Amino acid sequence: MAELGTRLKEARLSKGYSLDDLQEITKIQKRYLVGIEEGNFSIMPGSFYVRAFIKQYADAVGLNAEEILETYKNELPGTPNEQVNQSLTNNPSRRKVSKGPSNKMMEAMPKIIVGLFIIVIIVAIWVLGQSKIKSGQDDHDDTPPEMEYDTKANPIDSQKDKENEDKKAQTTGKQDSTDSKDSAKETPDEKQAEEVKQTISAGTIEADGATTSYTLTGTDSLKIRIEVSGPTFIGIRNQQQQEVLTETRVYNAGEVVEFDATSQNYARIRLGNSTQAKVYINDELLTYAQQIVTQNIVINFNKE
């Protein structure tokens, strides 16, 4: 067995994962996982997939994927680009320099840029001219002469209208103030409703030792948010043990998983590494009842 495969296998066993578990976490076929551990890369679909599969394997078992690839790069098959570069290094005579359409395009590029620049200037001048024309039209006074005459001819009526408007404004202000005070008063029922908060039970450890059940009460919603700080497998199932999360996979640091399970009244959360994930229920941080790495979190929702 190759040194790379041996190290990956040891990391998998230390996590307590079987090959079937790893297949579910990484979505990589089991025969490819066996090939990685045995150093048999010939069964892979291509050299690109060898590196991609090894990176996923390393992330899933908690190893630094970039470090693994760099340390054991001599055991990995080269990519097509590396093979071509090696071939050119060994046979300098095969190198050719040719001028094709791309070189002609580069030569014509300065002319194209100048042409585009001229077009932009012309468009800018036209837009500026249109803006000035529109501004001149807006500044023109369209008030009819008759309207000016009427305003000046009836100064008493204008003063009365102004006084009436002031009185209406004062009355409206008083009414708004009264309405604001009335709306600020809360009924006893409203105060009681605000005081009711959701409650999450301390958690009951099930017989399998890996599952903890919690009961959620005092709320009408069950919204789950999981903030990830490092590589960890996450899956969510309903009461019929059907996967309901859009993507069941290994999530990396900085990713956030959100799921609304209100209609389900139940959620079973599978955490591959609970030390790298914080679970929030309706924005309230869930306190784990047991400190184990791989565990199942069951939320039983009693809607009121």
**What is the structure's pLDDT at 149?**
41
Q: Which residue has the tokens 């030390």?
A: 275
**Contact of 200 with 281, CB cutoff 8 Å:** yes
Tell me the pLDDT of the chain (304 aa) as tens digits: 578 989 999 999 999 999 999 999 999 999 999 999 998 898 988 888 899 999 999 999 999 999 999 999 888 876 555 444 444 445 444 444 444 555 667 778 888 898 898 999 999 998 988 887 776 665 555 545 444 444 444 555 556 666 777 766 666 665 565 555 555 555 555 555 445 689 999 999 999 988 889 898 999 898 999 998 999 998 989 988 888 877 889 889 999 999 999 998 998 989 889 998 999 999 999 999 999 998 999 889 987 6
Predicted TM-score (pTM) above 0.75: no
Phi, psi of 30, deg, nearest 5:
-60, -35
**What is the structure's pLDDT at 175?**
59
DSSP state letters, 103-171: HHHHHHHHHHHHHHHHHHHHHHHHHHHHHHHHHHHHHS----HHHHHHHHH-HHHHHHHHHHHHHHHHH
**Which residues partner with 259 through β-bridges?**
224
Alpha carbon 112 to its chain centroid, in Å, reads 40
**What is the structure's pLDDT at 189?**
57
**What is the structure's pLDDT at 245?**
74
**What is the structure's pLDDT at 287?**
94
**Contact of 294 with 273, CB cutoff 8 Å:** yes
Beta-carbon contacts of 178 under 8 Å, excluding residues fewer than 6 positions away, are none
**What is the structure's pLDDT at 73?**
87
